[in-house]
Amino acid sequence: MKKAELVFIPFPGWSHIVMTFEISKFLVKQDERLSITVVLTKSPFDSKVGTFIDSLHSSSSKPDGINLILLPENNILSSEIEPSIIMGKFMEYQKLHVKEAVTKLMRSNGDSPGRIAGLVIDMLCS
């Protein structure tokens, strides 16, 4: 049976990542034909986000049907002062990594029974 795959790209904030993961768990429990890949990036502003992502990534309690892609960390932003400038630069830096991750996922799905049915992108990432 072919699985449809959704790719979730949450904003790297605590509540955004937690809710994305909870929605993902709910959806895969509802339909076994669905798999979800969550593209995650650690926030340079909130260590709680990094801790949560690390726990998800190393957790054996992650439900079947949910995959995680962890993007490289960005540590080049410490020289900026204004938070709006920092966040804008952070998101620009991550665009290339997100594009590469999704492209790689699409290529790898060419040989597997799944297909990417949609991208769910957090509005703050656009």
Catalytic residue set:
16, 122
Closest CA to 35 of 62, 60, 13: 62
A 10 A CB-CB count for 120 gives: 15
Strands (E), the chain: 4-9, 34-40, 66-70, 115-121
End-to-end CA distance of the chain: 33
What residues contact residue 70 under an 8 Å CB cut-off, 6+ apart?
Answer: 40, 41, 42, 53, 57
